[in-house]
Amino acid sequence: MARKFFVGGNWKCNGTTEEVKKIVSTLNEGQVPPPDVVEVVVSPPFVFLPLVKNLLRPDFHVAAQNCWVKKGGAFTGEVSAEMLVNLGIPWVILGHSERRLILNETNEFVGEKVAYALSKGLKVIACVGETLEQRESGTTVEVVAAQTKAIAERVSNWADVVLAYEPVWAIGTGKVATPAQAQEVHFELRKWFHANISPEVAATIRIIYGGSVNGANSKELAAQPDVDGFLVGGASLKPEFIDIIKSAE
């Protein structure tokens, strides 16, 4: 089964109502390949999710940028998976490096979040990736395998998971991984799924790349056999996001 190209836009903690409306109207006017060729999911901040969901073209979908690890309740400031389901939000990004590193989310905590979100019917973009220090010490594959294993220990149905390989040193830095560097880690992750989960999951799971992807470098990255799409930060707020979506073709 061919893996459908996936492009996610992570808007992070950006935007006012007016700016968000402007981004949505640019997306709505964009000429992109049809939904059987590319799946597009944009992730505004929580407070703009209903607005974006209501205004966005029907062939694009929305994701939250996080959700709480279990059922909601006395957890001030958190948003539960149940609330996202209630609002009709189909996707959630979990384990982004900004949350792992700034908010100290551990591999285990991310694994628990992924399992809980899936159990409530959300689809998950699960992020993994090494720091510069880890890359330079030669532990990249070990690090991303450990992050993936912590999810795998709690998840059995991978159909609703997209794995985003996002090297921390490439996020928001303008230092994109070379196509060969991205392909190497994606290949290793697929090999990990083959050995530890199943050949079927290895063949079907979408492994997308994130880290300084833009309209100029996306085509070459997309041509790598194990790169099944992108998670885009900065460039997802700009009109060039349409060019990135077009690299699916």
Residue 153 designated active-site: no
Min CB(229)–ligand PEP separation in Å? 12
213 binds ligand PEP (CB under 6 A): yes
Residue range at the interface with ligand PEP (CB under 6 A); choices 38-46, 61-69, 150-158, 210-218: 210-218
Min CB(125)–ligand PEP separation in Å? 9
How many Å apart are CA 160 and CA 149, to the nearest integer? Answer: 17
For ligand PEP, the closer CB: 23 or 232: 232
231 binds ligand PEP (CB under 6 A): yes
Residue number of the CB closest to ligand PEP reads 233
Helix/strand/coil for 121: coil
Long-range contacts of 232-236 (CB under 8 A, 24+ apart): 232/7, 232/8, 232/9, 232/10, 233/10, 233/12, 233/171, 233/172, 234/172, 236/8, 236/9, 236/10, 236/11, 236/42
For ligand PEP, the closer CB: 39 or 166: 166
Task: State which of positions 6-35 bind ligand PEP (CB under 6 A).
Answer: 10
The owner of tokens 């001030």 is 76
- Cβ pair 59, 40 in contact under 8 A: yes
Using alpha carbons, list the distances in angstroms from residue 41 to 67, 144, 195.
16, 23, 30
Min CB(232)–ligand PEP separation in Å? 5
How many Å apart are CA 25 and CA 227, to the nearest integer? Answer: 28
Q: What is the DSSP letter of 71?
A: S
111 binds ligand PEP (CB under 6 A): no
Residue 166 designated active-site: yes
Q: Dihedral sign, CA of 142, 222, 121, 191?
A: negative
Q: Say how many residues touch ligand PEP, by CB under 6 A.
A: 13
For ligand PEP, the closer CB: 172 or 199: 172
Query: Which listed residue (61, 96, 112, 186) is catalytic?
Result: 96
Residue range at the interface with ligand PEP (CB under 6 A); choices 61-69, 99-107, 166-174, 190-198: 166-174
- Cβ pair 164, 171 in contact under 8 A: no
How many Å apart are CA 117 and CA 244, to the nearest integer? Answer: 28
Min CB(236)–ligand PEP separation in Å? 7
Site string for ligand PEP, 168-207 (x = CB under 6 A): ---xx-----------------------------------
Applying CB under 6 A, which residues contact ligand PEP?
Answer: 10, 166, 171-172, 210-213, 231-235
Q: Which residues are catalytic?
A: 96, 166
